[in-house]
Amino acid sequence: MEQVSFFRASFPSLVNRRVARWTALQVSAIASLGAVGVSPALLSIFLLVDFALRSLLGPNASVLVHAGRSIFRFTAKRFGVSEELASIRPARFAWLCGLLFSLLAVAGVFSGQALLTSIALGTLALFSGLEALFGFCVACYMFGWAQRFGWISPDVCVDCRRP
């Protein structure tokens, strides 16, 4: 059995896009609840911590990724769903974007700016909802365009090049 360390960074070269979609569904649900005023402080901090752990230590440190993997394993057994692997580079950029939006939400909570919190969480809910429902990762799309414009070296992610 694979031993998991929560205090050592571990970034695989590939991620399972189906697990990412299940994880995005959870993020979308949590962010939506926070955006409409259901415990925005608690949910913003939870998302901030989860995105920080994911961004700094890798996907094994994220509670939401572990839940996404469990859901994927269940659906794979029941419905014969197979893995869909993709480069981790755009996903890491997406995690940093999620970290930024959740940081904005927490800043809104602690500064008393409820509108900032709602906008940050609403944006996070929208973008993660697009990933969950349609498989469209806005940050991954932006990552590909950043490569095209030369802001990110094309060698960083060969799979991410835009035509």
Each residue of 125-140: pLDDT tens digit?
A: 999 999 999 999 999 9
Coil, strand or helix at 122? helix
Tokens of residue 10, six digits = 């571990």
Coil, strand or helix at 83? coil
Query: Which structural domain, as residue segments, surrounds residue 28?
Result: 15-160
In a domain, 6, yes or no: no
In a domain, 80, yes or no: yes
Q: What is the pLDDT of residue 2?
A: 54
pTM: 0.90
What mean pLDDT, rounded, does the chain reach? Answer: 92
Tokens of residue 117, six digits = 């919190």
Each residue of 83-108: pLDDT tens digit?
A: 999 999 999 999 999 999 999 999 99
Q: What percent of the chain has pLDDT over 70?
A: 92
Each residue of 106-116: pLDDT tens digit?
A: 999 999 999 99
In a domain, 21, yes or no: yes
Return the CA Rg of the chain: 16
Q: Which residue type sits at 68?
A: G
In a domain, 124, yes or no: yes
Residue 8 scores a pLDDT above 80 = no
Domain count, the chain: 1
Instruction: Give the chain's end-to-end CA distance (angstroms, integer).
Output: 41
Tokens 């996903």, residue located? 91
